[in-house]
């Protein structure tokens, strides 16, 4: 694999490694009342002990009843996709949940994939994220997107048609408050001057922002202005490589170092007779990393058997780090 320099965002060093990382997504949702969330807590503790680099959770604050919009690219969905719960599915609010998980873990990074950031008041989200970053020891990643569901914006009193502009506004306010001791800001939505907001995030330059979206002019502009990482969406999930080149080119034009770009990608899991073949699975990593994937999402239907899950996670981390030439103690 080719070696990359340390990752930077436009405001400075984020403090994260340039080495390839292995991550998992937690199910912070359930079709019905799960009667408690202990399996989620057991999984995140096992991931932390095993050396998984990042865990992420998703976001919905409310549902309408037109869930087929998830499969409609015209509304921001992904073709053929299906919302994983019905309208009465139980979804844990991600920032609240990550605060709980921060207290259960020591090393694993904590992220959203994705947070519908525009549904939150920007100054309040900036405070929440800074607080969580401080309390977790600088382990927060903020993955954001515009979402696909009109009703979530309506229940928040926001215009779904303006969701992209609202997200950009939210991110601009957050970064202003994170990076200025005495902050001033002005756009069409909001104006303030000589504002103090402490504490600042521990990570230099503020909490790293991962932008989710299809490659289009708005997403690329959002990446250039705010993004440390890209979370491909829609058709780009299966083939992110052209999108990576588009973003790298935009970074160069904006005077940003394209080598600092982080990209989430799916780690194709190979199974033999229904059992995960870790050696065959990890064989895909070097070429994907050289192509630009840095965060390898390891998807699996995790067993309720805590011991077997912990063993699989540990074996996966060992196989991954052996493949990328990264010692187990590296963080």
Per-residue pLDDT tens over the stretch 66-105 = 988 888 888 888 887 888 999 999 999 999 999 999 999 9
Q: Which pLDDT does position 328 carry in this prediction? A: 65
Query: Taking the model in full, what pTM does it have?
Result: 0.91
Residue 324 has pLDDT above 70, yes or no: yes
Q: Which pLDDT does position 273 carry in this prediction? A: 87
Mean pLDDT calculated for residue range 233-250 = 94
| 219, containing H or E segment | helix 217-226
Residue 149 has pLDDT above 50, yes or no: yes
Going from N- to C-terminal start, the domains of the chain cover 8-324
Q: Name which residue leads in pLDDT, 229 or 2.
A: 229
Query: What is the phi/psi pair of residue 210, to 5°?
Result: -105, 120
How many other β-carbons are positioned within 10 Å of the β-carbon of residue 70?
18
Q: Tens digit of pLDDT for each residue in 11-31? A: 334 445 578 999 999 999 999
The whole-angstrom separation of Cα 326 and Cα 241 is: 24
The whole-angstrom separation of Cα 324 and Cα 319 is: 9
- State the fold for domain 8-324: TIM Barrel (3.20.20)
Looking up tokens 């199910």 gives: 27
The whole-angstrom separation of Cα 92 and Cα 90 is: 7
């Amino acid at each position: 694999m080719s070696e990359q320099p340390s990752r930077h965002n436009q405001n400075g060093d984020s403090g994260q490694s340039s080495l390839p990382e292995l991550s998992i997504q937690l199910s912070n949702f359930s079709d019905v009342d799960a009667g408690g969330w202990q399996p989620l807590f057991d999984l995140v503790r096992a991931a932390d002990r095993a050396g998984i680099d990042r865990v992420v959770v998703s976001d919905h604050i409310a549902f309408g009843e037109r869930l087929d919009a998830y499969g409609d690219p015209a509304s921001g969905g992904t073709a053929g996709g299906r919302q994983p719960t019905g309208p009465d599915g139980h979804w844990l609010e991600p920032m609240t949940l990550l605060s709980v998980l921060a207290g259960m873990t020591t090393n694993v990074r904590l992220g959203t994939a994705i947070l519908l950031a525009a549904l939150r008041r920007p100054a309040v989200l900036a405070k929440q994220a800074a607080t969580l970053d401080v309390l977790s020891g600088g382990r927060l990643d903020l993955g954001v997107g515009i979402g696909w569901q009109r009703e979530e914006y309506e229940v928040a009193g926001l215009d779904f048609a303006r969701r992209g502009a609202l997200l950009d506004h939210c991110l601009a306010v957050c970064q202003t408050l994170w990076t200025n001791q005495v902050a001033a800001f002005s756009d069409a939505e909001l104006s303030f001057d000589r504002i103090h907001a402490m504490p600042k995030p521990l990570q230099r330059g503020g909490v790293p922002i991962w932008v989710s979206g299809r490659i289009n002019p708005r997403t690329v502009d959002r990446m250039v202005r705010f993004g440390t990482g890209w979370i491909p969406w829609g058709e780009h999930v299966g083939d992110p490589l052209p999108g990576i080149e588009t973003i790298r080119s935009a970074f160069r034009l904006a005077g940003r170092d394209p080598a600092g770009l982080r990209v989430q990608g799916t780690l194709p899991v190979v199974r033999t007779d229904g059992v995960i073949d870790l050696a065959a699975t990890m064989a895909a990593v070097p070429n994907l990393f050289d192509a630009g994937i840095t965060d390898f999402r390891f998807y699996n239907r995790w067993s309720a058997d805590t011991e077997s899950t912990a063993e699989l996670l540990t074996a996966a981390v060992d196989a991954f780090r052996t493949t990328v030439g990264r010692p187990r103690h590296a963080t």
